[in-house]
Structure 1
Amino acid sequence: MWLIGDVELIQQKGRIGFFHYGPRMWMIGGIGPLKALQNSAQRDDIIQRILSEYPVVSFAKDGTLYRLRLNPATPIDSCEYDSPPDHLLGRGRLDAQDHPVLYCAQDIEGCVHECRVTVEDELYIATLHPARPLKLLDLTELLLEEDTTEFESLDLAVHMLFYAPEHSYPISRAIAIAAMKSGFDGVVYPSYSSQVRSGLMPAETVGYGISIRRAARYIPRLTGHAKTGVYPNVALFGRPVRDGIVEIACINRLILHKASYDIRFGPVISH
């Protein structure tokens, strides 16, 4: 309200008009598949689409994953780097009470972001290698959907789901359990900290919208642009360290040497 006088003066002197241009509703979650995922009666149909439309990738035996632990009781014990014990299950994005998940990343910085470490923590990191090729569902891939608008896009729905906080966990857990039952060893999914790591917060509407995705069918380099800022995490189902699905190559102490922040200011809105 305190801008009304300024707006009227600019309109008068500049002979121009102002009008409110609100967001297209898909930008704030008005996407059909995302709404269906929030409806327990419709959720399974969308999950089956996710399982069939997202690509299957094979994580090779020579691939590397990292698992970070904060203040482990016995840092040298390999069990410390497996999925959390039963009494801690059901707190994460993909694990449930009867569905343990080993969360790891393909880069060390990703582990640090996900674990929200402080300088007071004692940090230990395990380097993991698969004992065999792993069958993973890649939820970070760009779906090139034909004749689809932003309001109907499964691709945008899944990305928004994984950028949402804890209220989205029941949905992402349901996807993980369905993937496990379908024979996957785990999933590759967008890190919740992707936007703050890349600085793309909020995400640009052109790159995040459907226009770049459509153009990527004809200009392959645009696929990379549309995926800019998506940092992948890997979640492996069960207890892969105990079961020999992944092997620990080494364990190291991790010391935070320096942290830096890129900060900007925003308005204070009083309700």
Structure 2
Amino acid sequence: MIDYLGRFSERIAGRFSGRKFTPIACSACFSDEGLRLDAEKTGIDVPRPCPNCTKTGFKKLSRDALELLTHRFFVWGSLQKVLFGAAPLIQFNEHQATSIDVAPWLANDVKLLERLLGIGFFYYGPRLWMIGEVEPLKALQKKGKQQSIIERILAEYPARILKPNDQFYRIRVNPSVPDDPQQYDSPPPQFAGHGRLDSAGNPILYGSSDLEVCVHECRVTAEDDIYVASLIPSRELRLLDLSALLKEEDGTEFESLDMSIHMLFLAGKHSYKIARAIADAARNAGFDGLIYPSYFSLLRLGQMPFQTVYGISHRRIPALQDHEQAKAIPNLALFGRPVQNGTVQVTCIDKLILSAVRYQFHFGPTGA
């Protein structure tokens, strides 16, 4: 899969470094409303007529911007999620003629993109690792094979030290006594087993250094009274870091432990049983908790999941691994009741007021 998003981010910077901006279309060129709105967001103001439709007063798009728009609408916009992983249903390139079914309101736009970019659209047959055919991940779903993979996780993922000056946050919604530090410890027993990593008898204090992620993780509403506690460890805590990108040199995505954990934490509630087994094993191995990637990492950063170049995951390409690592916003999961036992201190409690909510979105084709 061609990474038009990555190519655009590098090449569009040219317009800010003295390179001449050459428009080839504008937002008014499009009939589909979603595509037109996305073009308006992507384009820039240029005070001259559009070279394609001759209209003035609309955002202009260069070839780079048009490639980005096309990728975002047709490829990202056709992304199909499965139990583990996801893959786009539509792709495009310069070598194939268009063979997809197109809605009548989109037909003229497809012809325009074919002409301006010299491309064709086709249904994409992804490599099967993209939809969960990853051997360690499949083994984690089988009771008889799960333990051996968990042992690999404990051995291959790095340990990190959370130091006494490493502050993080915990959100509480409608606490009974907002200024009581104990209200910001792990949930009481009657609420055990509702989170990704906790289970009955194994409570977990969830937190993050990213306050916006905390707010989103707690599914707050405008009617809630929201409070945020600032916390620091009282001593060094040893955590298993599952947010790390493993730089595996051997094998492919099909054998990748890194891809297995990446997919596990981007999956929904059906993955919780596996994640809890990993947490239990880490607790038994003497860790104080876990660092794990937030389920909302990509949404928080506005990134497309499971990006590839010709079917190879960006996580496997050395030049892109730092960028991929930065997509994982780390959450904390501390075992037991660390506030009660003094392992963690609450240094401050504030009321949090939602003053505005903004949505960023883009569009995709229907029927994909």
Contact 2:127–2:311, Cα closer than 8 Å, also in 1: no
Contact 2:126–2:311, Cα closer than 8 Å, also in 1: no
1:120 aligned to 2:223? yes
Q: Which residue of 2 aligns with 1:32?
A: 135
> What is the one-letter code of the residue matched to 1:259?
V
Q: Which residue of 1 aligns with 2:345?
A: 247
> What is the one-letter code of the residue matched to 2:171?
L
> What is the one-letter code of the residue matched to 1:135?
R
Percent of residue pairs bearing the same amino acid type: 52
Deviation, structure 1 residue 28 = 1.1
> What is the one-letter code of the residue matched to 2:247?
L
1:93 aligned to 2:196? yes
Alpha-carbon distance in structure 2 between the residues aligned to 1:253 and 1:19: 51
1:77 aligned to 2:180? yes
RMSD: 2.5
Contact 1:208–1:226, Cα closer than 8 Å, also in 2: no
1:103-118 alignment to 2 at 5 Å?
A: 103-118=206-221
Residue 251 of structure 2: which of 109, 130, 148 is its match?
148
Secondary structure in 2 matching 1:67: strand
Alpha-carbon distance in structure 2 between the residues aligned to 1:242 and 1:53: 32
Q: 1:18 to 1:101 in 2, by over 3 A?
A: closer
Deviation, structure 1 residue 17 = 8.8
Q: Which residue of 2 aligns with 1:227?
A: 325
After TM superposition, the score normalised by the length of structure 1 is 0.88
Alpha-carbon distance in structure 2 between the residues aligned to 1:134 and 1:206: 38
Secondary structure in 2 matching 1:41: helix
Contact 2:306–2:313, Cα closer than 8 Å, also in 1: no
After TM superposition, the score normalised by the length of structure 2 is 0.66
| Unmatched segments (≥5 aa) in structure 2 | 1-99
> What is the one-letter code of the residue matched to 1:73?
S
Deviation, structure 1 residue 199 = 1.0
Q: 1:188 to 1:3 in 2, by over 3 A?
A: same
Alpha-carbon distance in structure 2 between the residues aligned to 1:202 and 1:58: 28
1:261 aligned to 2:366? no
Residue 205 of structure 1: which of 277, 302, 308 is its match?
308
Q: Which residue of 1 aligns with 2:292?
A: 189
1:119-138 alignment to 2 at 5 Å?
A: 119-138=222-241
Q: Which residue of 2 aligns with 1:53?
A: 156
Deviation, structure 1 residue 19 = 6.1
Secondary structure in 2 matching 1:127: strand
Alpha-carbon distance in structure 2 between the residues aligned to 1:235 and 1:250: 20
Q: Which residue of 2 aligns with 1:219?
A: none
Alpha-carbon distance in structure 1 between the residues aligned to 2:169 and 2:123: 47
Contact 1:145–1:214, Cα closer than 8 Å, also in 2: no
Alpha-carbon distance in structure 1 between the residues aligned to 2:179 and 2:262: 36
| Unmatched segments (≥5 aa) in structure 1 | 217-221
1:185-240 C-alpha deviation (Å, 9 max, x unpaired): 00000000011111113342249954553525xxxxx4321213211100000000
Q: Which has the larger radius of gyration?
A: 2
> What is the one-letter code of the residue matched to 2:339?
V
Alpha-carbon distance in structure 2 between the residues aligned to 1:200 and 1:18: 22
Alpha-carbon distance in structure 2 between the residues aligned to 1:83 and 1:187: 14
Q: 1:2 to 1:240 in 2, by over 3 A?
A: same
